[in-house]
Chains A and B, each alone.
Chain A
Amino acid sequence: MEHRIKQKKRKINIQRALAPYLFVFPNFIIFFIFVVIPAAYGLYFSFTNYDGLSEEEFVGIANYVKLFSDSDFWDTMLRTAIYSGIVVPTIYVLALGIAILLIKEIRFKGIFRAIIYWPTMISFIVVGVTWKWIFGDTFGIINYLMELGGQKGIPWLSESFYATLVVIVATLWSRIGFFMVIFISGLQSIPSEFYEAADIDGAKKWQMFTRITLPLLKPTSVMVIMLAIIDSFKAYPLIVSLTGGGPGRATTYLVQYIYRFGFEKNQLGYASAMSVILFLIILITTTIQFKVNKGGEI
């Protein structure tokens, strides 16, 4: 009898020891096959002249050397950086500003939040279609409104400067709601006692903002900025349907450039080297966030 109880107990113990591994297994195997292995392959490809068909040859750092002297690549990087440099600060200011308005004691708060959040649930492809229709050269409502105002219409999508502007507007429209929500929860976690104490001391609204809100919001701010940077360097689907990367290459950013070399020009080794650069950008941004926030606490 005692023997059997012992045996059963052991069986249970084994089951309990094994359970976590079995629970983790499906996720682990998918991550391993579809993230770890491709990542290793990608890194390896970046040191070869792989073209997707013939056997690859090891070429050392030739792809990276080529990359550094490829002016098209650097033009693309510059465009991506400019796009990012405009989008990220604008998102930061607008999302924070809207969040501050929407934690006030006002009516219809929920409706305002829902309206601003709603575009984040629309696919980038459809966002692109929407703004392409609005900014259409010949049938666009914006050009109609400009004509009403006595202005001449602008060929929005066929001039580099304006096309970039439209891409930026569409990006802001589709992303601000997401960051607004993060800021709202960040702002709500600041204890109200701080503001009450400052109020008693006679602090002005602006002083409260710079001395209390901004410092205490720093972890949230860092997270928002880093996420927005990574987002902007991954920009592609929205551009596919809005401008297709044009006119010319005016709105072609890094991911589209990689895609073109990897899938259209069949220079997989070279495209992989660019992917490594993209990974490094993400790695550096994430590391900065982690360091500044000491462990990534939100």
Chain B
Amino acid sequence: MKVSKNLITYIILILISAFFLLPVIWIVLSSFKAGTSLYKWPPELIPSQPSIENYIIAFKKGNFGLFFYNSFMVTILSTMVTLVINTMAGFALAKYKFKGRDLLLIGFISTLMIPLEVIMIPIFQVITKLNLYNTFVGIIVPPAATPTGLFLMRQYLLSVPDELLEAARIDGASEWRIFVKLILPISKPVLSVLTIFSFMWRWNDFLWPLIVISTPEKYTVQLAISNFVGQYNVDWNGLLAISVITMIPVLIVFLIFQKQFVKGMVTSGLKG
């Protein structure tokens, strides 16, 4: 009875997993079919002559080396800013009593309800007035202050005992020193969570670059792909190769920080 019951569970789970896994496998396999073999009918399930030609062409002709460089730079810088400023603000909101704190907290929560989709038209005006149009700063700094990141940090730091901070103060540590030497190390697990999320958000982001960036030399990968796929005659050879590469960085970051990530999920009380 028990075995047969679990058997059904396994079969269902395998079918579901197939739905989630096969699309990725299919574009990976397709990306190794060079030239016209990609358009063969009936399609070859496994490429008979696997080749990395598509990848080479995409980087040579499609200028994707530059787009990857842009994406990496924007993602890494923005994530660094996110980690520092959200930890600072989370620390202040969790561990200090000061005038206006609750008001600030409510204000920050409310910004969750104003996603970029709602303000994309006026934000364009603001970005232009600040001379940030078509600059990397324009896609690095504004999205770095994320309400989600702020709350993640605040919830986690609420659990830091006040005695710890008092002890450091009695030892003569300044507030900034407490932040750098005490709070940052304590936050390591939750910082991993935020690193994964921020990296993923910024790497995958489409709307910010779409609104802020105009010249192709400053395209991020996502923006470049969306342009690529919008053309009348889609060059699938290059497109598939680039799409496959684009998935890899987030996966690597996830694998690096995964252990800490799981720890952070448990201890920060972040449910989901």
Contact = CB atoms under 8 A, between A and B. Distances in A.
Interface of A: 12, 15-17, 19-21, 23-24, 26-28, 30-31, 33-39, 41-42, 45, 52, 98, 101-102, 104, 106, 112, 115-116, 118-119, 121-126, 128-134, 138-139, 141, 144, 147, 173, 176-178, 181-182, 185-186, 189, 220, 234, 236-237, 240-241, 244, 255, 258-259, 262-263, 268, 271-272, 275, 278-279, 282-283, 286, 298
Contact of A279 (B88, B114, B175, B206): B114
Contact of B20 (A101, A116, A125, A129): A116
A104 B9 CA distance: 9
A91 B152 CA distance: 25
B192 interface: no
Contacts of B122: 37-39, 41-42, 45, 272
A106 B120 CA distance: 46
B134 interface: no
A84 to B, nearest CB: 14
B171 interface: no
B236 A23 contact: no
A20 B126 contact: no
Contacts of B41: 138-139, 144
A23 B123 contact: no
Given A104-B9, A124-B204, A144-B41, 12 more contacts: A20-B92, A27-B108, A39-B114, A118-B20, A121-B247, A122-B250, A125-B225, A263-B124, A278-B118, A279-B113, A282-B113, A286-B112
A17 to B, nearest CB: 7
Q: What's the interface size class on B, roughly?
A: 35 or more
Contacts of B117: 234, 236, 255, 258, 278
B160 interface: no
A173 B23 CA distance: 10
Contacts of B10: 106
Interface in B1-45: 6, 9-10, 12-13, 16-17, 19-21, 23-24, 26-27, 30, 38-39, 41-43
A260 to B, nearest CB: 11
Contacts of A15: 174-175
B67 interface: no
Contacts of B120: 258-259, 262, 275
Contacts of B164: none
B91 interface: yes
Contacts of B20: 115-116, 118-119, 173, 176-177
A42 B9 contact: no
A118 B24 contact: yes
Contacts of A28: 89, 104
Given A28-B89, A129-B239, A130-B24, A181 B43 contact: no
Contact of A35 (B111, B175, B254, B272): B111
Interface of B: 6, 9-10, 12-13, 16-17, 19-21, 23-24, 26-27, 30, 38-39, 41-43, 84-86, 88-89, 91-93, 96, 98, 101, 104, 107-108, 111-115, 117-126, 130, 141-142, 144-145, 150, 169, 174-176, 179, 200, 203-207, 211, 222, 225-226, 229-230, 236, 239-240, 243, 246-247, 250-251, 254, 265, 271-272
- Of B12, B104, B145, most buried by chain A (CB within 10 Å of CB) is B145
B88 A275 contact: no
A19 B92 contact: yes
17 contacts: A19-B175, A24-B92, A27-B89, A33-B126, A42-B122, A106-B6, A106-B10, A115-B17, A119-B20, A126-B225, A126-B246, A130-B27, A131-B23, A134-B23, A234-B115, A237-B206, A279-B118
Contacts, number: 236
Contacts of B130: 33
A35 B229 contact: no
Nearest to B128: A52
A277 to B, nearest CB: 10
Contact of A189 (B86, B251, B271): B271
A126 B236 CA distance: 13
A45 B121 contact: yes
A112 B240 contact: no
B272 A133 contact: no
A275 B117 CA distance: 8
A61 to B, nearest CB: 18
Nearest to B149: A27
B118 A23 contact: no
The 5 closest A-B pairs by CB, nearest first: A123-B204, A182-B272, A23-B92, A20-B96, A19-B175
